Amino acid sequence: MLRVGLTGGIGAGKSTVSALLADLGAVLVDADVLAREVVARGTDGLAAVVAEFGPQVLTAAGDLDRPALGRIVFGDARRRAALNAIVHPRVAQRRAELAAAAPADAVVVEDVPLLVETGAAPGYPLVVVVDAGAHERLRRLVEDRGMDPDDARARLAAQATDEQRAAAADVLLPNPRRTDGAADPLPGLVERLWHERLVPFEAGLRAGRPGPVPAGVPGAADADRVRARVERALGAPVQLAAPTGWPLRVQAVADEVSAGDVTGALHAVGYVPAGQDAFAGADPGCAVRLDLVRAARVGGPA
Interacting residues toward ligand ADP by CB under 6 A: 8, 10-16, 140, 144, 175, 177-178
For residues 54 and 137, give the distance between their C-alpha atoms in angstroms, rounded to a whole number: 36
Taking the complex as a whole, how short is the minimal distance between the CB of residue 99 and ligand ADP, in angstroms?
21
Q: What are phi and psi of 167, to 5 degrees?
A: -65, -30
User: DSSP code of 241?
Assistant: P
For residues 46 and 50, give the distance between their C-alpha atoms in angstroms, rounded to a whole number: 6
Q: Exposed (0-12), middle (13-18) or buried (19+): which is 237, by Cβ within 10 Å?
A: exposed
What is the sign, positive or negative, of the torsion defined by CA atoms of 148, 154, 155, 160?
A: positive
| CB-based contact 285:171 (threshold 8 Å) | yes
For residues 152 and 137, give the distance between their C-alpha atoms in angstroms, rounded to a whole number: 9
Looking at the Cβ atoms of 13 and 211, the one nearer to ligand ADP is 13
Looking at the Cβ atoms of 183 and 242, the one nearer to ligand ADP is 183
For residues 251 and 256, give the distance between their C-alpha atoms in angstroms, rounded to a whole number: 11
289 forms beta bridges with: 249, 280
Q: What own/partner pairs with CB < 8 Å and gap ≥ 24 does 269-274 have? A: 269/122, 269/123, 269/124, 269/125, 269/229, 269/230, 269/232, 269/233, 270/2, 270/125, 270/126, 270/201, 270/205, 270/229, 271/230, 271/233, 272/204, 272/205, 272/208, 272/209, 272/210, 273/208, 274/210
Looking at the Cβ atoms of 138 and 230, the one nearer to ligand ADP is 138
User: DSSP code of 5?
Assistant: E
Taking the complex as a whole, how short is the minimal distance between the CB of residue 20 and ligand ADP, in angstroms?
10
Taking the complex as a whole, how short is the minimal distance between the CB of residue 119 and ligand ADP, in angstroms?
20
Looking at the Cβ atoms of 177 and 192, the one nearer to ligand ADP is 177
Taking the complex as a whole, how short is the minimal distance between the CB of residue 53 and ligand ADP, in angstroms?
28
Taking the complex as a whole, how short is the minimal distance between the CB of residue 184 and ligand ADP, in angstroms?
7
263 forms beta bridges with: none
Looking at the Cβ atoms of 174 and 273, the one nearer to ligand ADP is 174
Q: What are phi and psi of 93, to 5 degrees?
A: -65, -40
Taking the complex as a whole, how short is the minimal distance between the CB of residue 130 and ligand ADP, in angstroms?
6
Looking at the Cβ atoms of 71 and 178, the one nearer to ligand ADP is 178
Taking the complex as a whole, how short is the minimal distance between the CB of residue 193 and ligand ADP, in angstroms?
16
Taking the complex as a whole, how short is the minimal distance between the CB of residue 8 and ligand ADP, in angstroms?
5
Looking at the Cβ atoms of 11 and 247, the one nearer to ligand ADP is 11
Distances (CA, A) of 235 to 34, 77, 167, 296: 28, 28, 22, 20
Looking at the Cβ atoms of 8 and 123, the one nearer to ligand ADP is 8
